Amino acid sequence: MPIKKKLFNAPVVLSFGSGAGKIISKIETPQSVYKIAVNSSHRDLQMIDTRVDETVCCGTGIGSGMDPTQGREDLYLGLRKVFKYIDDACYEAKATDVDIIPFISSLGHGFGSGSLTSVIGELQRRYKNAIILPFVITPFTWEGAEVVKRAYESLKEATDISPCFVISNEEVGSVYKDIGASYDSINNLIGDSISVILRSFSATEGVLQTIDRNDFSKFFIRDIATIRHMRIKSASNLTFDDIKENIGKRWLKIDAKMFKPFSKLNVTYILDGKGPFSPKVLQELQENATKKDYINKEYIKPLLIERKKVKYCDFVWMESGFKLKCDKNIYGEY
C-alpha cells in the first residue's frame, strides 16, 4: 500500500534533559512519529519510559550533576544510539529524506544545557537536508541567577548555529500560584503546542494551503522564535480580535529586555482543524498579520489544514527573528 505523502517528513521528536523528558511524555505524536527521550539520568528516564517510544541513557546514568561540561560529555556517550533510533524511525516511516527534526531541551542544569549546541551541530552534520528545530525551555527566575546564567549561556552558544524556539517557564507559569500544581499544567500547555505543530507538519489530508521546507527555512531565522497557541471551537467565525484576546502572551521574557527584534520579525501561522475556513476569516487573518510595521511582509504564507471529523480547531502563531540579548546587565556580572 502506498504511504500517504506527508507535508513534512518528521519521523522523530527528541528530548534532552529531565524537564524536557517530562514535556515529551505529554506530547501526542501522529502515527509513525517516534518519541525518543535522551538523558543522563537513568531514574528520570524510567519515570517516563511508558510514555515515550525509546529512551537513551547517556553516560553512567546518574545525571550530569548540574554541570554543562559533564552534560556535553555524557551526550557523546549516547549519541550513536540516538542516531540509530532516528535512522530506525526513518526506515519505519519509509522516509528517504528527513525534512524536520524537532527536539526539546530543558536549560539550566547539566545535561540539557551542556548538550544543546552539540545536539544541533551533530544533527545538522548527519542529516544535512533536515531543518533542525530546537524548542528550548528556559528556567524560572526563582531558580536563581546561576541556573538562569547557565541556561542563557547555553542558548547564546546554540543560537550561533541555529535559531531556537524559546519557551520560558517563567512566562508560561506566571499565571499559576502553586508551583507544585503548575509544573504539570505547564508541561501540558507546552506539550499541546508542540503536538499541534507536529500534527500539522505531518498532515496528509485537508491541506488547503501548504508550506514546504524552503518556505519554512525562510521563516525560521536567527536567533529566537516564539509560538503562541490557542484552541477554538471552529474556524468558522474566527476574528483577529478573538485571537488577540485569547492567545495569551509570548512565552518569552521580553519585559526583562532579554529580546529585541533583529530588524523585522518573520511571522506565519497555522490554522488546523474544524472549519469552514471562510474567505472572510482568512482575509481578516492575513490582513492583520501584515498590518504591523515590525513584521516582514515578504514571507507570510500560512499553513491551512481544514479537517473533517474533528471537534475543534487550533491556531498557532509563530514569530521568528528576535535577537537574544544576553549580557552582564541582565543577570549580574559574569
* Residues contributing to the site for Mg ion (CB under 5 A): 18, 41, 63
Instruction: Determine how many CB atoms are found less than 10 A away from the CB of residue 332.
Output: 10
Using alpha carbons, select from 63, 65, 47, 66 the residue that is nearest to residue 55.
Answer: 47
Instruction: Determine how many CB atoms are found less than 10 A away from the CB of residue 205.
Output: 9
Nearest approach, Cβ of residue 67 and ligand GTP (Å): 7
Residue 25: name its binding partner from ligand GTP, Mg ion, none (Cβ under 5 to 8 Å by kind). Answer: none
Which residues form the interface with ligand GTP (CB under 6 A)?
Answer: 17-20, 22-23, 39-41, 63-66, 71, 106-112, 137, 139-140, 143, 147, 169, 183, 186-187
Nearest approach, Cβ of residue 170 and ligand GTP (Å): 9
The rounded distance, in Å, linking the Cα atoms of 152 and 107 is 8
Query: For the chain, what is the radius of gyration of the CA atoms?
Result: 19
Nearest approach, Cβ of residue 13 and ligand GTP (Å): 16
Q: Which is nearer to ligand GTP, 106 or 200 (CB)?
A: 106
Given a contact cutoff of 8 angstroms between Cβ atoms, the answer to whether 74 and 57 are in contact is: no
Nearest approach, Cβ of residue 222 and ligand GTP (Å): 23
Q: Which is nearer to ligand GTP, 23 or 238 (CB)?
A: 23
The rounded distance, in Å, linking the Cα atoms of 184 and 12 is 23
- 100-106 and 164-168: which strand pairing? unpaired
Residue 248: name its binding partner from Mg ion, ligand GTP, none (Cβ under 5 to 8 Å by kind). Answer: none
Q: Which is nearer to ligand GTP, 183 or 262 (CB)?
A: 183
Nearest approach, Cβ of residue 103 and ligand GTP (Å): 13
Residue 65: name its binding partner from Mg ion, ligand GTP, none (Cβ under 5 to 8 Å by kind). Answer: ligand GTP
The backbone torsions φ and ψ at residue 261, rounded to the nearest 5 degrees and listed phi first, read -65, 145
- 164-168 and 224-232: which strand pairing? parallel
Given a contact cutoff of 8 angstroms between Cβ atoms, the answer to whether 230 and 314 are in contact is: yes
Residue 108: name its binding partner from ligand GTP, Mg ion, none (Cβ under 5 to 8 Å by kind). Answer: ligand GTP
Q: Which is nearer to ligand GTP, 181 or 208 (CB)?
A: 181
